[in-house]
Amino acid sequence: MGEQTTVKFPQDVIDEYAELGVDLNAIFSAGQLRDRMGVEIVEASAERVVGTMPVEGNTQPYGLLHGGASAVLAETLGSIGAMLHGGPSKIAVGVDLNCTHHRGVRNGLVTGVATPVHRGRTTATYEIVITDERDKRVCTARLTCLLRTSPGAPTGTAAS
């Protein structure tokens, strides 16, 4: 579904994970979702995650963007933000996703922007706003992730 874009991480974050042998760009290339839904991660930090997804191939029978596709984009972006907030010693597991669909989209590209609502030691909540190419809001989502200690993580490290 197109060429994979490079994820834009702050250099200090790339360095922190690289010291642990983790390639952030490979992890956050959206994995199988890229192939199935065309999700592209454009920018990623704990403060802001941006991604896009084509409408084509992600529609319901009426030809509109499927609400589940919006949910996939929202959870992908919010989970990336939560994991970056938690740091290398944590994994982010989604525990609640709420999506409100405001308008239908029949074609083009949608863009999601995830920003933090709450960033704690054990949970992180992100608001994700998905817009169409005319910058009209298509969906507003909220994702809460549980931050669990990563298997094999050094003890005593926690998100702030």
pLDDT digits over 31-85, tens only?
A: 677 678 999 889 999 999 999 999 999 999 999 999 999 999 999 999 999 999 9
- The pLDDT score that the predictor gives to residue 21 is 77
Report whether 112 contacts 77 (CB < 8 A). yes
- The pLDDT score that the predictor gives to residue 2 is 45
Q: Please state the rounded mean pLDDT for residues 135-143.
A: 98
Report whether 43 contacts 8 (CB < 8 A). yes
pLDDT at 157 over 50: no
Nearest residue to 92 (alpha-carbon basis) of 116, 111, 112, 108: 116
**Backbone angles phi and psi of 8, in degrees to 5:** -105, 100
Q: How large a percentage of the chain has pLDDT more than 90?
A: 64
Nearest residue to 153 (alpha-carbon basis) of 63, 69, 90: 90
Q: How many CB atoms lie within 10 A of CB 105?
A: 24
pLDDT at 99 over 80: yes
Kindly list the catalytic residues: 75
Q: Of all helices (H) and strands (E), which one includes residue 13? A: helix 11-18
72: helix, strand or coil: helix
Q: What would the 3-class secondary structure string for 74-113 be?
A: HHHHHHHHHHHHHCCCEEEEEEEEEEEECCCCCCCEEEEE
pLDDT band of residue 129 (cuts 50, 70, 90) is very high
Question: pTM, whole model, 2 decimals?
Answer: 0.84
Question: Please, what is the average pLDDT of the chain?
Answer: 87
